[in-house]
Amino acid sequence: MITAVSPDGTAPDSLDDTALAAWLVRSAGALAARMRTGVTTFEEKTSISDVVTAADHAAEQLVVDTLRRLRPEDSILGEEGSSHEGSSGRTWVIDPVDGTYNFFTGGSYWCSALALKDDGGVRLGAIYHPAEDALWLGGQNLPTTRNGVPAGQAVSAPLAQSCASVYLHHTYLRDDAAAQPYLAAVLGAATYRSWGSASCELAATSAGIFGVWFQQGLPEWDWLPGLALVEAAGGDSAVVDVNGYRWHVAGGRQQVADAVALLSTAPAVA
């Protein structure tokens, strides 16, 4: 999908929501990629593996400035602290660089992502993966595409015959209340992978590259962009509370059901 750019490099005023989402994630990802070689420092947020760089802030500011100009009545929620309360009942949820640890250390699995939600749920998701020049779009009444071509389907199959995309921070592995459900679900899959970017992984899940994806404790910016793609590709999703932890699951319908069952039936931990 090619989205027009004004002569001054800004987004045209006439873009509909889908075209605007595409412009925003592609522009944010391109900006971060240009800044990447010049980024030599980072700030820790919750841990050494959860970091933020100047590129994150610059990319988020680009998105926020564009939305404030073109969608002034919409609300904004950004990972790096941007917030605006609008009057339309719609909210743009922004993750300017998802997979910042990979971004900073030279890995290829990072992306720019956003979602548009309202009281009816997540309406639209957009993810741009610069390393593959891959633009993913999908949402309600918008089947998931990759660079304008149908991305595939989240095919239903038993978890035992599927690859799971999973992640659990090592600090939670020390807590049986999180570790036991996680291991039960992981061991129920044929195999598993972890790329370090929830949005990259969910985009791949929407195309059937992974049969299911699950993590615990996700903020909306890590969940909603990819959720929109998976559901628009015919997949299913669930959010379940187990032992005080909240697990987010998305993928093929049978894989989601199997993963939820394994997460939920793991031994209770006092």
Residue-wise pLDDT tens digits, 98-147: 998 898 888 999 999 999 999 999 999 999 999 999 999 999 999 999 99
Return the pLDDT at 194. Answer: 97
CA-CA distance, 129 to 95, in Å (whole number)? 12
- Please tell me the distance from the alpha carbon of residue 218 to that of residue 181, in angstroms, as a whole number: 16
Checking if the pLDDT of 42 tops 90, the result is no
Domains of the chain and CATH, by start: 17-150 (3.30.540.10), 159-264 (3.40.190.80)
Rounded (10°) angle between helices 198-206 and 220-232: 10
pLDDT above 80: residue 51 = no
pLDDT in tens, 220-240: 999 999 999 999 999 999 999
Q: What is the mean pLDDT of the chain?
A: 90
Please report which confidence band the pLDDT of residue 5 belongs to, taking 50, 70 and 90 as the band edges: very low
Query: Across residues 69-75, what is the average pLDDT?
Result: 97
Residue with tokens 């309202």: 118
| Averaged pLDDT for residues 8-37 | 90
56 is an annotated ligand-binding site residue: no
The pLDDT, as a whole number, for residue 48 is 44
79 is in an annotated binding site: yes
Residue 99 CB partners (closer than 8 Å, separation 6+): 107, 109, 110, 111, 195, 196, 197, 199, 200
| Residues composing the chain | 270
* CA–CA gap between residue 225 and residue 229 (Å, rounded): 7
- Residue 32's pLDDT band (boundaries 50, 70, 90)? very high
Is 85 labeled as ligand-binding? no
Q: Residue 45 is encoded by which pair of tokens?
A: 């947020």
Assess whether pLDDT exceeds 50 at residue 49. no
Cα 84 to Cα 245: distance, rounded to the nearest angstrom: 29
28-40 mean pLDDT:
81
Confidence category of residue 9, pLDDT binned at 50, 70, 90 = low
pLDDT, tens digit, 9 for 90 and up, residues 190-224: 999 999 999 999 999 999 999 999 999 999 999 99
| 178 touches 263 (CB < 8 A) | no
User: Would you list the DSSP string of 178-236?
Assistant: HHHHHHHHHHTSSEEE--S-HHHHHHHHHTTSSSEEEEES--HHHHHHHHHHHHHTT-E
For the chain, the straight-line distance linking the first and the last C-alpha, in angstroms and rounded, comes to 51
**pTM (predicted TM-score):** 0.91
Binding residue per annotation — 118?
no
- Sheet of 245-251: strand order equals 191-193, 163-166, 212-216, 245-251, 236-242
The predicted structure's pLDDT at residue 170: 86
